[in-house]
Each structure stands twice: as C-alpha cells, then as structure tokens.
Amino acid sequence: MKFFIDTANLEQIKEAQDLGILDGVTTNPSLMAKEGITGKDNILKHYKNICEIVDGDVSAEVIATDFDNMIKEGEELASLNNQIVVKLPMIKDGVKAAKYFSNKGIKTNVTLVFSAGQALLAAKAGATYVSPFLGRLDDISTDGLNLISEIRDIYDNYDFSTEILAASIRHTMHIIDCAKIGADVITSPLSSITGLLKHPLTDIGLDKFLNDHKKGN
C-alpha cells in the first residue's frame, strides 16, 4: 500500500519524506488556502516546491469545472513536473477530461468520489487514481470503509488498473482498515501516519531494555 500525505504544508511533507515511507502528496484548493498559498503564480511555484521534496506523485487540483478550461489548466499543471497528477472533480466534464488525459498518457486523480458508480465511471475513463472520501461519508453517518470495499470488489472483477486512493482519512484505524480491504493508496494527514508508530508497550519495553543495559554496564 502506498502512503501519500494530504497537505500543502512543506514542513510536514519534509517530515514524512524524512521518515522514508512517503510515496506521494495530495493537495486540494482548501489545503493550499490553509497554507496561505494564493494567486496562480504562487500556486504553481508551490507545486514545484513540493515536487522537489518528494520523489512520487503529487496531485494538483484544477479549479475549472468545464472541459476546455480543465484541459488548459491540467496541461499547464502537468507541464510543471512529470510527478504531477492532474486532479479532476467527479463531474461530467471531469470524467471527459480524465479520458482525454488518459489518452495523452497524463496521470489523473478523480476526486470527490462518494459512490461505487462514480468510481466505476472514473475507472472506465482510465483515471490513474480514484479518490473516495471515507471520512466525509463517516461524518454523515454513512460507512466510508464499505465504499472502499465495494470499489475494491468492482475493480478486481474487471482488472481495472485505476488505483483506489482512500482519501479524507481521519485517524490511524482508517489507515489500518484500508490496508485490510486492499486500498492501493491512502492519503492522510501527518498525525495519522505518525500515530501508527505509537504503542505504550513499545515505550515501556524500550525503557526497560535501556535501564537493564545501564545496570549491566
């Protein structure tokens, strides 16, 4: 399973990269705004900076919602660096744009996916990644993990190559459950990734080992 970090914060991206487990980055317009990155030139520069920190795929979301402008914007984003994955919303023109970019060999991430039917369309369009938002489904009392399972079954039935990128991760158990289901990728805040490190018995055990070592020396 690939680990992506879901942030536009360069320090957090560096921290995850230094941990040696990072396979890529996802961003969205809200995450860019949270870091105070505004204006086209600053946004493009920020994507370039992210690509310099990580080796893997970096999702950059288009703002346009019509086909022609999605293509224009997506091509400009893709030209920044070959790590860029054009992130497209799950709307009719987004599906058309995913097909267009797929034919051109440009990677895509179809985002804002909340149903198995939407995921099926994204795969048919040749998307590289599909992003079901499990936390946002959980937020409205709907089982987000069940959606990941449904998509896994559908993609396996037909050997679709689209990778399931479980998004909107809220905590460590989401990551573990996605791994059990067989999501190809999770994208998560840094806190949930580093949360996987923690176990009190590890800390107690390490303290004892170090104390015993001191006693014996």
**Residues with catalytic annotation?**
87
The reply on whether position 83 binds ligand E4P by CB under 6 A is no
Burial zone of 69 (CB within 10 Å; 0-12 exposed, 13-18 middle, 19+ buried): middle
Report which DSSP code applies to 66. S
Contacting residues for 67 by C-beta, under 8 A, at least 6 apart: 93, 96, 97, 100
Site string for ligand E4P, 13-42 (x = CB under 6 A): -------------x-x--------------
Question: Applying CB under 6 A, does 171 fall inside the site for ligand E4P?
Answer: no
Measured from the Cβ of residue 15, the count of other Cβ atoms closer than 10 Å reads 15
Beta strand spans in 114-153 (E): 129-132
Binding span for ligand E4P by CB under 6 A among 65-73, 129-137, 194-202, 208-216: 129-137
By the rule CB under 6 A, 6 interacts with ligand E4P: yes
Q: Measured between alpha carbons, how far is residue 50 from residues 2, 32, 54, 89, 132 in Å? A: 18, 12, 7, 21, 23
Sketch the per residue contact string, 84 through 113, with ligand E4P: x for CB under 6 A, - otherwise: ---------------------------x--
Closest to ligand E4P by CB, 162 vs 168, is: 168
Per rule CB under 6 A, is residue 12 in the interface with ligand E4P? Answer: no
User: How far, in Å, CA of 6 to CA of 24, rounded?
Assistant: 9
Query: Judging by beta carbons within 10 Å of its beta carbon (0-12, 13-18, 19+), is residue 40 exposed, middle or buried?
Result: exposed
Q: For residues 28 and 118, which CB has a smaller minimum distance to ligand E4P in the complex?
A: 28
Q: Smaller CB distance to ligand E4P: residue 101 or 133?
A: 133
- If one asks whether residue 187 binds ligand E4P (CB under 6 A), the answer comes out as yes
Residue 133 sits in the site that holds ligand E4P (CB under 6 A): yes
